[in-house]
């Protein structure tokens, strides 16, 4: 597998809607492997295909380091509750901001064998699912930030102080 370049804010590909995946091909399998390698190399918990320049409805998520998820053509079918917390993005390096998301989501998606699946997530997993699915619609978390974006070094100083 390979590490791919992560597109950063300002790259027009990040503002485009992605197309559905209609069949599993070796190219798609390779892309998924590359996405995991890229995400882990960048110390992320999620990555969407447009972040590596591919306009396909594919996301990878691993919030625990032990439970990698591949969601193809995902869509949220249920959400409830509310959580507000700091959120960052591999496509917006060095910045974070407070974003309110559902505390619980249920999503349907296709797995790597194109079988329909369902996942429910709370807290960080719910946040990751919402964040990554936004990417598939051409949306970045910075548009949902409450208040100002903060430099990550400022956040560390606040936590240490």
Give residue limits of the domains in the chain.
12-83+99-142
Edge to edge, what strands does the sheet with 46-48 contain? 46-48, 58-61, 69-80, 104-110, 116-122
What positions carry a catalytic annotation?
A: 132
Burial of residue 24 (CB within 10 Å: 0-12, 13-18, 19+) is middle
Q: What's the rounded Cα separation, in Å, for the pair 156 and 159?
A: 5
Give residue-wise pLDDT tens across range 40-80.
999 999 999 999 999 999 999 999 999 999 999 999 999 99
Q: Which two tokens stand for residue 96?
A: 């974070």
Give residue-wise pLDDT tens across range 69-113.
999 999 999 999 999 999 999 999 999 999 999 999 999 999 999
pLDDT of residue 155: 72
Q: What's the rounded Cα separation, in Å, for the pair 23 and 127?
A: 28
Give residue-wise pLDDT tens across range 134-159.
999 999 999 999 988 999 887 755 45
Burial of residue 119 (CB within 10 Å: 0-12, 13-18, 19+) is middle
pLDDT of residue 105: 98
Q: What is the pTM of this model?
A: 0.94
pLDDT of residue 63: 96
pLDDT of residue 79: 98
Q: Provide the CATH number for the domain formed by 12-83+99-142 in this structure.
A: 3.90.45.10
């Amino acid at each position: 597998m390979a590490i791919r370049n992560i597109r950063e804010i300002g790259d027009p590909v990040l503002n485009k809607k992605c197309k559905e995946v209609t069949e599993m091909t070796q190219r798609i399998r390779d892309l998924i492997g590359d996405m995991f390698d890229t995400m882990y190399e960048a110390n992320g918990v999620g990555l969407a295909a447009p972040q590596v320049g591919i306009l396909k409805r594919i996301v990878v998520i691993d919030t625990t380091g032990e439970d990698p998820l591949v969601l193809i053509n995902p869509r949220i079918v249920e959400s409830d509750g509310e959580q507000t917390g700091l959120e960052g993005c591999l496509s917006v390096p060095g910045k974070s901001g407070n974003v309110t998301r559902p505390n619980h989501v249920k999503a349907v998606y296709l797995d790597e064998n194109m079988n329909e699946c369902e996942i429910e997530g709370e807290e960080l997993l719910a946040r990751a699912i919402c964040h990554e699915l936004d990417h598939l619609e051409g949306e970045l978390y910075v548009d949902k930030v409450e208040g100002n974006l903060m430099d990550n070094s400022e956040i560390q100083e606040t936590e240490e102080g």
